[in-house]
Copies of this chain bind each other. A is one copy, B any other.
Amino acid sequence: MSTEKCFAKGSPAPGPVPKDHIRIYSMRFCPFAQRTRLVLNAKGIKHDTININLKDKPDWFLEKNPLGLVPTLETPAGEVIYESPITCEYLDEVYPENQLLPSTPFAKAQQRMMLEHFSKVVPYFYKIPTGRNKGEDVSGLETELKQKFAKLNEDLVNKKTQFFGGDTITMIDYMMWPFFERLEIFELKHCLDSTPELKKWTEHMSEDPTVKATRHSMDTYKGFYKTYTEGNPNYDYGL
């Protein structure tokens, strides 16, 4: 059995976290878990992955994290960390190689403020597809999303950099990326049409080896999202 397959209620608990590894409890298609997977990959951190059936969670998972959230990290010492930005900052602090957050307190605060702004953009990626599926008029929401994208575009124009934290990828890029990777599945790619710098950013991000290593093919995404919108997500889709 591939270890990529998800663990559901009743499945035997995985063994202890191997020494010198960290474990991520994940779901293959979750954009929040992908943030942590991006950071694990970008920093070359040895880890194992336990995918969770989010509709039918194992009891042993809920014992580790009563909120039942992915991503959740577990260390060999049994320390449990969750909430995607917290897991990512934790990893960046514990594993010094390839630092993703800037070192100065102000630059770090700037990335946190950007992430806070972006957290107000995230709901659109859910509200628009859901509304559309119900046959609602989502043009107002799309206009709002385009305005949010225009702000991000302006930010890149002002900074004159390829990425949001400079000319190399930093933490904030990986925090935002998973939602942009899904624009096509959400049928929202046209929302980038008036924001050329942001569009260029998505193109640069697509070429990043870490991004390539953590993403699924568009067909796999589409297949999963079909089962998801039908109310019966197949977390093992494509395996």
A residues with CB within 8 A of B: 75, 79, 81-83, 86-87, 89-90, 93-94, 105-106, 108-109, 112-113, 116
Question: Can you give 23 contacting A-B residue pairs, CB < 8 Å?
Answer: A75-B106, A79-B106, A81-B106, A81-B109, A81-B113, A82-B113, A83-B112, A83-B113, A83-B116, A86-B109, A86-B112, A86-B113, A86-B116, A87-B109, A89-B109, A89-B112, A90-B105, A90-B106, A90-B108, A90-B109, A93-B105, A93-B108, A94-B105
Given A83-B112, A90-B105, 10 additional A-B pairs, CB 8 A:
A81-B109, A82-B113, A83-B113, A83-B116, A86-B112, A86-B113, A87-B109, A90-B108, A90-B109, A93-B105
Interface of A, helix, strand, loop or mixed by DSSP: helix
Copies in the complex: 2
Distance in angstroms between the alpha carbons of A195 and B86 in the assembled complex = 29
Distance in angstroms between the alpha carbons of A86 and B108 in the assembled complex = 9
CB-CB under 8 A from A112, the residues of chain B are: 83, 86, 89
CB-CB under 8 A from A83, the residues of chain B are: 112-113, 116
Distance in angstroms between the alpha carbons of A109 and B90 in the assembled complex = 6
Which residue on chain B has the smallest CB distance to residue A79? Answer: B106
Which residue on chain B has the smallest CB distance to residue A151? Answer: B66
- Taking the nearest CB of chain B, how far is it from the CB of A66, in angstroms? 10
Distance in angstroms between the alpha carbons of A90 and B93 in the assembled complex = 16
- Taking the nearest CB of chain B, how far is it from the CB of A187, in angstroms? 30
Distance in angstroms between the alpha carbons of A87 and B116 in the assembled complex = 13
Q: Which of A75, A79, A82 has the most CB of B within 10 A?
A: A79
